[in-house]
Chain A
Amino acid sequence: MNSIVDKLYVLSRSQKFRNLIVQFVFLIFVGLFVYYLISKALQLDITLSHFVSRAGFGISHTFLVDYSSNDSRWFAYFTGVVNTIRMCIVGIILATILGTIMGVARLSKNIFFSTLSYLYVEILRNTPLLIQIIFWQIVFLQLPRISEAITFSDTVVISNRGILLPYASSVENGYGNLWITIVVISLITSLFISFYINKREDIHGKIYKIYNYKLSGNIAGIIIFFIIVLISYFILQKPYAIDLPNLYQNDKGTYLQSGGFEFTPEFGAILFALVMYTGTFITEIVRGSIQSLPKGQTEAAQAIGLSNYQTMTLIILPQALRSIIPPLTNQYLNLTKNSSLSVVIAYPELFMVSRTIMNNSGHALPVFFLILLTYLSLSLIISIVMNIFNRRVTRIGA
């Protein structure tokens, strides 16, 4: 029996054993803490059952969604998600364009362009995004007031209530959604057809001919798309009509505006702030990636007589793209997450709408989980898309 005590003694002197004990105790505490949190959470109402009840509040920006306060909280939340996605898609596209242009300009031999890009990056990257959002809100509010709104023969209205542009709106004959579906399907179909024809020509050297004229895949796709869209438009009794902006005075003489596609100062402010801010980081990514390429690439391109523009678009950027994509994905994710700052200037994206729901219902915890889950899904979708794109870019280069 002496051996047990001896063994215990040896164990107690062993560093490994003591570490194990410490870790075990730590694990128990963590476990207890998690258990405490879960048991607390279970006492609360963690279901989202209250989301089926009437929302009861209005939402100022309803894009592609026909929301009214009589709808459920789920639908209000969905409206917020649509507003977030709308902001992110437009923001990501514009930030990428701005960042690429500025990144190239930063390396320009032209002092004006390189200084402009330098100042842009250093000023906007080093000021808080929140301040920039409020700044742009104030800037957009300086547009003419509605009583002094600028109109161009009833097709465009510009005021600080929003810039209104002509748009399409569905006529109430019930075929609107059907027609949109047909448009989307025909777009996909015609893309496939044009890809097929082009591939057939490029790879197999076979050409379709109509009366001795070569049939190009692009033209075939465009023609097929428009034929299907136009025919279905008339068959479905013109489900969409042009919606012109309207600036009018009510019977009290007060100006109001409605109709058309609305570009509001709130959307504009948050979009500008996000694009300008994220653009600075993309500028640096583009600049760094271009600089990482060997100088010989540029020199070789110039040696075979390519212009500066051709050198950039055909030689430099395609190669730089391989090291641009991974950090660019991070910036897209940042833009998406930063869009939740819209809450300060009255743009109803998903965080603002869900906070309103939270305040009205009093159930904070499950709503917060829903918000987290939604942002997580958005981020993962962006990551997946960018990873697919990244794989494509690296494969072509290899």
Chain B
Amino acid sequence: MKNFRFILVLLSVMSIGLFSACGSDTETITETVEVIKEVEVEKPSTLETVLNRGTLKCGVNDNLTGFGVLTAAGTFEGFDVDYCKAVAAAILGDASKVEYVPLTASARFEALGAGEIDLLIRNTTWTASRDRDLANDFTATTFYDGQGMMVYADSGYQTIEDMEGATVCVLQGTTTELNLDDRFTSAGLDYTPLTFETNDPLQAAFEEKRCDGWTTDKSGLASKRAEFPATAGGPESLTVLAETLSKEPLGPLTRDNDSQFYDVVQWVVFGLIQAEESGITSANVAAMAANPTDPGMARLLGVPFAGGEVADFQFGVDATFIQHAIKAVGNYGEIYERHLTPLGLTRSGSLNAQWTDGGLIYAPPFR
């Protein structure tokens, strides 16, 4: 009997211990949640982080000629890379203070969400699901891309309608594959899609003329065309058809709920567009800043007009941030001219022409 009681006591003590342990666990969890909430509230904005660190971590592509490529000299170059430089110049006053992080397409969003990078500029298409589902915000469109079709120049194909019975090489499981089918099916054309998992076997097949056409984003096509090997005919043997099969607006992304940094990036993009419209280039920006021709230009460059006060937009950075960005990389037209014109991406008449020329490149007013 004595032993039986002993066991009973032991059991009750144990259960009390168990319950109390549970209780304290819940408390700890609640406390932890509160701490996390506090941390979230007090998390410094990316703008502060960048200013404190002294460098901008920029996620880029490292093998897309024209947009982001790691050169043999070990430097990053391209249209997207210039935007990294522009943002670094605007915030830190020095375009060389960029730490480039090359990213794959599948790793890019997580790298941004996890704070591995501050800014993602890696030919990323702005879509509703990406804006909503993923922990990031699209700032503005720097390049209006779209799916295109590249064919051999000697094939005589001018439009998609000419391509009855053609074989088309495409990457599998992409929206590209679906857009391709939509276009050919709606036109009532018979075609054979040859769907590859990666680009290398696709290019090998295309070089041997296994397929008549190669379809992907026009920027990608231009890049592949520019580096098309001379042994297979070189870039001149290829043409990209004028037609665009889909909308693919590309631009920089920041993290969700990071409005200070978001605003700076967004208005650097707009500032470079406005600079082109106002005729400010990297060559004449110093002269223009010293002697602005109108109040609008003075507001853009953050300088006083005719001895008046400076219009500071309070972005949390120097009022002359657009001026620094223009000095570093030039206006939108200059960046385009430097990286995309050599690829054969004609600007005039395309969506990437200035709005005054019938394009979509348009900045809201600096006011």
Contact = CB atoms under 8 A, between A and B. Distances in A.
Interface string B162-178: 10111100001110011
Contacts of B155: 252, 254
A359 B171 CA distance: 12
Contacts of A141: 204-205, 208, 210
Given A142-B208, A161-B210, A355-B172, A252 B156 contact: yes
B193 A57 contact: yes
A293 interface: no
Contacts of B166: 256
Interface string A46-61: 0000000000111110
Given A57-B178, A254-B155, A355-B172, A344 B198 contact: yes
Contact of A69 (B181, B197, B205): B181
B201 interface: yes
B311 interface: no
Nearest to B202: A346
A138 interface: yes
Given A252-B162, A254-B212, A60 B193 contact: yes
Contacts of B173: 355-356, 358-360
Nearest to A133: B201
Interface residues on B, range: 35 or more
A265 interface: yes
Nearest to A359: B173
B110 to A, nearest CB: 17
A146 interface: yes
A160 interface: yes
B19 interface: no
A153 interface: no
Interface in B206-253: 208-210, 212
A253 interface: yes
Contact of A344 (B162, B178, B201): B201
A356 B177 contact: yes
A157 to B, nearest CB: 14
A265 B210 contact: yes
A239 B342 CA distance: 58
B164 A56 contact: no
B205 A4 contact: no
Contacts of A138: 204
B3 interface: yes
A5 B3 contact: yes
Contacts of A358: 173
B16 interface: no
Interface string B1-40: 1111000000000000000000000000000000000000
Nearest to B155: A254
B52 to A, nearest CB: 40
Interface string A253-285: 110101000000110000000000000000000
Contacts of A142: 208
25 contacts: A4-B3, A56-B178, A56-B182, A58-B177, A58-B180, A59-B193, A60-B167, A68-B185, A69-B185, A137-B204, A137-B205, A141-B205, A146-B209, A160-B208, A160-B210, A253-B156, A254-B212, A256-B165, A266-B194, A343-B172, A352-B172, A355-B172, A356-B172, A359-B174, A360-B178
The 6 tightest CB contacts between A and B, nearest first, are: A252-B156, A359-B173, A141-B208, A58-B193, A254-B155, A256-B165
Interface of B: 1-4, 155-157, 162, 164-167, 172-174, 177-178, 180-182, 184-185, 191-198, 201-202, 204-205, 208-210, 212
